[in-house]
Amino acid sequence: MAAPTRKTVELFYDVVSPYSWIAFEVMCRYKTKWNIDLKLKPFFLGGIMAGADNKPPGLVPAKAKYMLSHDLCRVGDYYNIPIIPPANPAEVMFIKGTLMPQRFLTAVDIKRPDLVEDLSRQFWIRAWNKDQGISDEEGIRETCKDINFPTNLMEECLQKTKDQTVKDRLKQYTTEALELGAFGSPIIVAHVNNKPEMIFGSDRFPILAKILNEEWMGPLTELSKAKL
C-alpha cells in the first residue's frame, strides 16, 4: 500500500503579532501529529495592513484593552505559551515594528531554513514575554545569543538584510499572502487537491483539521517548545 501523500501547510506570520505566536506553536506541534509538510513563511504585517486597507486591532481602544488585559493571557494559558504583553505594546507594534527581524528571518530562511523555527520562537519570547527589544541589530544579536545561533551565520545574515534579494523575498511572501486574501496575521494556507485553502487567525484549528482530513486533538501542551 502506498504511503499517504503529505499535505503542504504554509504559515505566513510576523513576530510583531502575538496571535501569530499561538498559530506558530500549534502548527509546530501538529506537524509531528498530522501528515503535513509545514512551511514557515515570514512576511511583513505592515505591508499586509496597507495592502488590505486594514486597521490593526491594537489601534482600536476597546479591542486593545480586551486583547492586552484578558485575551492574550487566557489563550496563552490554554495553549501553554508564556505570553506577557510588554509594558508599552504600542511602541513594540507600531513605533519600533519588526521590519528588521522579519528581514533577518528571511535571510536565515534563505541560508538555513532549519533554524527559522527556533529563531522565530525566540523573537516572540523576547518581545512578548521578556519585554526586550528585537527591532534593531542589538536586539537581533541578543536574540541569537539566547539560542546559541552560529555567530558567523548571524553576521552574514545581518549583512544580507540590506540585500535586494532578501527584501524581494520578504515582499514576495507578503504579496503572496495578499493575493490569497490576507488582511492580518497569521495566515494558514492548506494545500489540498492542488487547491489552496486560506484560514486567518489562531482560533480555527478544528476547521483546518477538517480541511486536511486530520483529527484536532486540542492544544497538545505536552509538546510545548516555548520554554523559558
What are the residues whose beta carbons fall under 8 Å from the beta carbon of 63, sequence distance 6 or more? 57
Burial of 12 (0-12, 13-18, 19+ CB in 10 A): buried
Report yes or no on 92 lying in a domain.
Answer: yes
Q: What is the pLDDT averaged over residues 1-12?
A: 79
CATH number for the domain spanning 68: value is: 3.40.30.10
Bridge-based pairing of strands 7-13 and 36-42 is: parallel
Assess if residue 186 is contained within a domain. Answer: yes
Here the cell at position 148 is 546559541
| Strand ranges inside the chain, DSSP E | 7-13, 36-42, 187-192, 195-200
Q: Is 204 inside a domain boundary? A: yes
Q: What confidence category does residue 165 fall into, taking pLDDT thresholds of 50, 70 and 90?
A: very high
- Which structural domain, as residue segments, surrounds residue 115? 7-223
Does 1 fall in a domain? no
pLDDT of residue 3: 57
Does the pLDDT of residue 50 top 90, yes or no? yes
pLDDT at site 4: 62
Q: How confident is the model at residue 110 (pLDDT cuts 50, 70, 90)?
A: very high
Task: Report how many domains make up the chain.
Answer: 1
